[in-house]
């Protein structure tokens, strides 16, 4: 699996570069509030329900959408990330914060981190995420609620 993934990374030109986008320490919600066009608040796992009736929701990744991870024992507040690019039906790149410790510190922002859909139905309900300290896709499978789509811009007639 690792060799196949690394070959895909090279062939498709995926770069999983990490670096701070903002000087201060931040959690995933703070980052997504600044980096997306989705105006939600509260713990990350609550964003899926909070988006109902306010934003479109679905199981298909799109650039600019917010990926909402379910809460788990190791992630009691869930996680959110902004989709940067869709590479294929099983691979996307996200920007997110407070996932991997970077240079030994939590609360850092990662750009273009790969996320792989590992669900049996290819419905993005289970994923594995790039983990910077290992320089590879992590081994843990995380449950995902889905994607929250930013509101389409409204055009006013003149």
Q: Is the separation of the CB atoms in 131 and 138 below 8 Å?
A: yes
Distance (Å, rounded) from C-alpha 158 to C-alpha 128?
A: 47
pLDDT at 104: 85
How many angstroms separate the most distant Cα atoms in the chain? 56
* 147 C-beta neighbours (distance < 10 Å), count: 24
pLDDT digits (tens, 9 = 90+) for 11-45: 333 333 333 344 468 999 999 999 999 999 999 99
- Using the Cα atoms of residue 4, residue 7, residue 11 and residue 16 in order, give the sign of their dihedral: positive
pLDDT at 74: 94
Distance (Å, rounded) from C-alpha 39 to C-alpha 88?
A: 28
Provide the 3-class DSSP secondary structure of residue 132: helix
pLDDT at 30: 97
Task: Report, as ranges of residue numbers, the positions in the chain whose pLDDT lies below 50.
Answer: 2-23
pLDDT at 135: 94
Q: Is the separation of the CB atoms in 61 and 124 below 8 Å?
A: yes
pLDDT at 106: 87
pLDDT at 102: 85
pLDDT at 154: 53
* 105 C-beta neighbours (distance < 10 Å), count: 9
Q: Does domain 15-149 have CATH number 3.90.1720.10?
A: yes
Residue ranges covered by each domain of the chain: 15-149
């Amino acid at each position: 699996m690792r060799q196949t993934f690394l070959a895909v990374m090279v062939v498709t030109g995926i770069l999983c570069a990490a670096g701070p986008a903002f000087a201060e320490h931040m959690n995933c919600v703070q980052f997504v509030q600044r980096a997306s066009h989705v105006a939600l608040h509260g713990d990350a796992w609550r964003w899926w329900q909070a988006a109902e009736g306010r934003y479109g929701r679905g199981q298909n990744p799109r650039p600019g959408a917010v990926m909402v991870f379910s809460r788990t024992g190791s992630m009691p507040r869930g996680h959110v990330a902004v989709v940067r690019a869709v590479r294929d039906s099983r691979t996307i790149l996200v920007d997110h914060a407070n996932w991997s410790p970077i240079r030994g510190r939590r609360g850092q922002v990662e750009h273009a981190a790969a996320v792989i859909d590992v669900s049996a139905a290819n419905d993005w309900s289970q994923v594995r995420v790039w983990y910077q300290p290992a320089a590879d896709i992590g081994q843990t499978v995380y449950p995902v609620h889905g994607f929250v789509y930013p509101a389409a811009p409204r055009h006013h007639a003149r």
